[in-house]
Copies of this chain bind each other. A is one copy, B any other.
Amino acid sequence: MSREKESPITISTQALERMPYYLQYLKQLQKEGVTAVASPAIAADLTLNEVQVRKDLAAVSTSKGKPKAGFVIEDLIYNMEDILGYHNVKDAVLAGAGFLGRALLSYKDFDNSGMHIVAAFDTDNAVVGSEICGKKVLSADKLSSMCRRLNIHIGIITVPKDQAQTVCDQMVAGGILAIWNFAPIHLSAPDNILVRNENMTASLAILSKHLQEKIKHT
């Protein structure tokens, strides 16, 4: 019984994953001039459960929701962005300037999420030295030292799968604390490093299975 709650309010991983959805939705509403919104409405629009929405909002909102009126959108947005750490800029590096890497380098939404990709790294001399979407592509062997020197803590891996572990190790060596891995392979990293796998093969599996059953039953 030695385990203790560290923080008074905990927010579940799933709820956290839903936040950007809410955020996008709330910003849209705001743009349309709406100033307040209630859980049932959100639930209906995003096809979620009403109670779930209410709990999610309660978990992040500083102000309370009012019966009949709901929540103030502006406050909600602020609270969510705050929880998600969108208000302070986090520098990141990207390894692998292929198509996927470029896609991420050009992704505008990162800016409003507080993530800023500082530079890209690649082993291919043909791209090293060039610029993609205003970001320099540097030689891969500089990755580690660069991270260290600029105190960067997020690494994005978009290299082919046989290079992914090497890059991962370099990132860890460079002091990276969170890795966003797009390579379809399991990375081993120390426990204190967060590895988030953007698992396209997993998604494909779900689609594939679903379709298979759908068609079989017809």
Binding site for B on A (CB under 8 A): 13, 16-21, 24-25, 45-47, 83-86, 88, 90, 98-100, 102-103, 105-107, 109-110, 113-115, 153-154, 161, 177-178, 180, 184-186, 188, 194, 196, 198-212, 214-215
B13 touches A206 (CB 8 A): yes
**Min C-beta distance of A187 to chain B, whole Å:** 10
A177 touches B214 (CB 8 A): yes
Provide the residues of chain B in CB contact with A185, threshold 8 Å.
24
User: Contacts A46-B186, A103-B102, A153-B211 hold; do A113 and B16 have CB atoms under 8 A apart?
Assistant: no
Beyond A16-B209, A47-B186, A114-B208, 9 extra complex contacts between A and B, CB < 8 Å: A13-B206, A19-B205, A45-B186, A88-B212, A90-B211, A110-B204, A177-B215, A198-B200, A198-B203
Provide the residues of chain B in CB contact with A180, threshold 8 Å.
203-204, 207
Nearest first, the 5 A-B pairs at minimum CB distance are A20-B201, A99-B103, A85-B212, A17-B202, A100-B103
Question: Looking at the complex, which one of B86, B203, B205 makes contact with A208 (CB distance below 8 Å)?
Answer: B86
Question: Looking at the complex, which one of B102, B153, B186, B211 makes contact with A154 (CB distance below 8 Å)?
Answer: B211
B102 touches A209 (CB 8 A): no
A85 touches B20 (CB 8 A): no
Provide the residues of chain B in CB contact with A205, threshold 8 Å.
16-17, 19-20, 84
Provide the residues of chain B in CB contact with A154, threshold 8 Å.
207, 211
User: Contacts A85-B212, A110-B204, A115-B208 hold; do A184 and B103 have CB atoms under 8 A apart?
Assistant: no
B115 touches A106 (CB 8 A): no
Provide the residues of chain B in CB contact with A184, threshold 8 Å.
20, 24, 109
Provide the residues of chain B in CB contact with A153, threshold 8 Å.
211, 214-215
**Min C-beta distance of A205 to chain B, whole Å:** 5
Provide the residues of chain B in CB contact with A115, threshold 8 Å.
204, 208
B207 touches A194 (CB 8 A): yes
Provide the residues of chain B in CB contact with A201, threshold 8 Å.
20-21, 24, 109, 113
Provide the residues of chain B in CB contact with A210, threshold 8 Å.
177-178, 194
**Min C-beta distance of A70 to chain B, whole Å:** 19
